[in-house]
Chain A
């Protein structure tokens, strides 16, 4: 598997650390406690066949966190962007 880092170019997956679902939003700490939302944030994950947005950190490179949109059926990479532009 190859990922094209916006900073470093095309690199083998060995250089990256997988950090899971990139669509998760951490519940607002200022909002009233919502155990369901917290549970969902920590434990519940979707596995959409249509395409998965996931975090990959270029650990052996520029240390940038990337949002990779990948087709889980074919492993085709649809897009790669910076998580914190």
Chain B
């Protein structure tokens, strides 16, 4: 047991010793320091067991010190803020942080599910394709729930995310990714040249390896160099350094995606602050200085807590002043080991052995570093211990077995350039023999690579390469480049990546991918079964998937597959890296577009008046529309809508139709254009007249409908449906420019510029007369049905009047510029009420259109032709129009196609609901007997029945018969009578009444 002791060094590190922070892990309280990550704080407290693995529930510890961490995934936050699979190595410590381990029951130290290890043969590569298959019916009821409970990492949040997110757009000349030595140099060069520069760093401290290793640049310590550079950049007006900002994707034409963790590290975020910020960065040049990722080495039970990447060991020692163990074995096959040995010794960690398979290397490096330890020319074959490493078994060159007690095994198989961002646009990494790894290949336009990401692992090369890349980018953009720089640094020994295979004497499981529990055995099995290419291997074994996307496991998997295939790693193509580089919360991608703000809400000009009147609103596309206006004791939509329909049919009602799409169409060829755009002959309209207008798509299906009014020979006002307005606008603009470019016509969308109201009912003319300039003659002789014209309101405000009816009553639509909309609506409501009527909402409007058999969006659903909708009588026979040719396709003329009918409940109270399917009486309820569906429904106080419109096979032939309308989800089943679509006043006598 190590808990209870402090593993913090007495001095050093980038931690604030005067700022202790309390935190908890699995309910136990600990103390860390400002500057810690959760991982470093856990190690400082001797907590080395961090989680359980994905399939086998094996105990796991902390492997890395950055975003490549495959193992130490914890759950942070609670309820709606619960965040699973957070890498402890990137979670910045704050006071009060509470973390829980994952995938264990009942506790991390004793996990009952670890019995999964016994069933390992059943859980091997592709197990879900092979085992748990029979009998088939067991899968859904037994196997899947069991596997889901036993495997998988983390639990999703239980409630809606209460935090806010935002999206910002950044523009710059030069974007530098990664604030390690190369990135800092590149940003300094570009910014000093005058280029607008952004340097992004996923960590909360700039420096990369400069803060993880003990380095010296021109006589200054690495951490101090990074701090000074960051300060200089922050002081330049043309440069910005964004820390806690992970660049996760490269996109077309110089766009990059980054996510900034704004308040995740704060104990008490300021109110109204966003949690995370999505940055869309538009950059003319991009320099990828994302560094390199250290490669583990394969040996038995290499997943035990205490097996750690050597670079991470040094990061914990140097940056966090934490010793991740007390007695270490260093196992590496490159000269970087000298640095690891020296740092461990300096921190007072006993080095029990240094194991290196290269002839003479262990003795040479041990001597050079001056560390007193046992040099073994050989390999580690197995990590000993279960909940923590207790020792290392190794075999030397002479074949002698060694057993060394230790609690830390620092491993290094060299470094692999982090080339991910260079491949997001389809580029392929290229093999570099000199470093034994894949490095960036052909780059997308505007991108350069520098430092370790380019395969330049030495510090001097990173600094000069970064500086040159920054200078070149600035010069490309017309800035005078700064002179080259040649800094003096302490020497280093760049390492070629390992070619080490698993030793034949290895015992236990050898893990290739810790996060997905993929072993060398799984790779071999997958290959035996024919999955011999890296992409196939990945799909079959899940190697390289999940949060770390194979950052540490990818090179091991490739090497293993290559060895089994008898090929060189260079002959294999690594799997494709796609965005995101690190996990991105869906909330950050959604930004502000959640809930009611998914899209902007549009309000008609008289909205406030409807609010005053107590209207109940309903969303209609982007619009918020009044559904009904309850009065007195009316208890809900049904009573209110019934009363509103009765008021319209008996006296007069007013409805806000400002949401209709409205377009001004003008020009010498306006009539010709509208004749082309609409299926019915609208160009022949006389000035001062309005008529119905039907739009079709190229394939002959109905697209939308509305009205066309001719105010003057070359001036029209066109309306579309409310929801279809933007699509109609696009359609008009497209057809004009793509198909009729030679016509003299202008189209302007004036939807928001005009308020418009429908006034309907036998007293509608009286109501409209009360708001109009008394000089305007609204007599039937002067303004008959389908008249249209410009008028003035009583106060002199401009207005347009159309005699149109949707309800079947005598009706007018009156429009006025938006600023007078609220006043006009108020006046119309007062006029109607004085005449015994009232305002009516969308519900009453819908009931009356069903009574009249008028179609709307629920029938114009993209699958219906004019013929299906009973509108073929409007379709022009002679002229050309959009969609004309396709209308005559034989299948569209089939009389059995579903066509529009009306429905009426046989029992007054039997509700017909939208979406119900229609069946013959006595027919079984199945798809084969389905005759059609109900598109819209309402309660008709006029007819004393529930009524509906429906699309039914052989519709016309079924009029007079009875059908069942069945909706099993909510249990509706109504017997109804099939009637003609116009159920009320089919002759239209009330239009003139």
Contact = CB atoms under 8 A, between A and B. Distances in A.
A43 to B, nearest CB: 8
Given A29-B880, A65-B737, A74 B885 contact: no
A42 B886 contact: yes
B883 to A, nearest CB: 9
Interface in B664-707: 698-699
A41 B730 contact: no
Interface stretch (B178-186, B252-260, B980-988): B252-260
A27 interface: yes
A84 B253 contact: no
B730 A27 contact: no
B426 interface: yes
A17 interface: yes
Interface in B721-743: 730, 733-734, 736-739, 741
Interface in A5-58: 12, 17, 19, 22, 26-27, 29, 33, 35, 38, 41-43, 55, 57
Given A42-B698, A63-B733, A84-B737, A1 B251 contact: yes
Nearest to B698: A42
Contacts of B889: 35
A42 B741 contact: no
Contacts of B730: 17, 19, 57, 59
Contact of B254 (A2, A29, A41, A84): A2
Contact of B734 (A1, A65, A73): A65
B698 A57 contact: no
A80 interface: no
A78 interface: no
Interface in A57-85: 57, 59, 63-65, 73-77, 83-84
Contacts of A74: 425-426
A57 B253 contact: no
Nearest to B739: A26
Given A33-B885, A42-B698, A1 B741 contact: no
Contacts of A63: 733
B738 A65 contact: yes
Nearest to A41: B698
B282 interface: yes
Contact of A64 (B252, B253, B425, B737): B737
A42 B737 contact: no
Nearest to A25: B739
A35 B445 CA distance: 45
A2 B734 contact: no
A2 B282 contact: yes
A38 B886 CA distance: 7
Contacts of A38: 885-886
B675 to A, nearest CB: 12
B738 A19 contact: yes
Contacts of A59: 730
A14 to B, nearest CB: 10
B513 to A, nearest CB: 32
B277 interface: no
Contacts of B880: 29
Given A1-B255, A57-B730, 7 more contacts: A12-B282, A17-B730, A19-B734, A57-B733, A65-B733, A75-B253, A83-B738
28 contacts: A1-B251, A1-B253, A2-B252, A2-B254, A2-B282, A12-B282, A19-B734, A33-B885, A33-B888, A35-B885, A38-B885, A38-B886, A41-B698, A42-B698, A42-B699, A55-B734, A57-B730, A57-B734, A59-B730, A63-B733, A64-B737, A65-B737, A75-B253, A75-B425, A77-B253, A83-B737, A83-B738, A84-B737
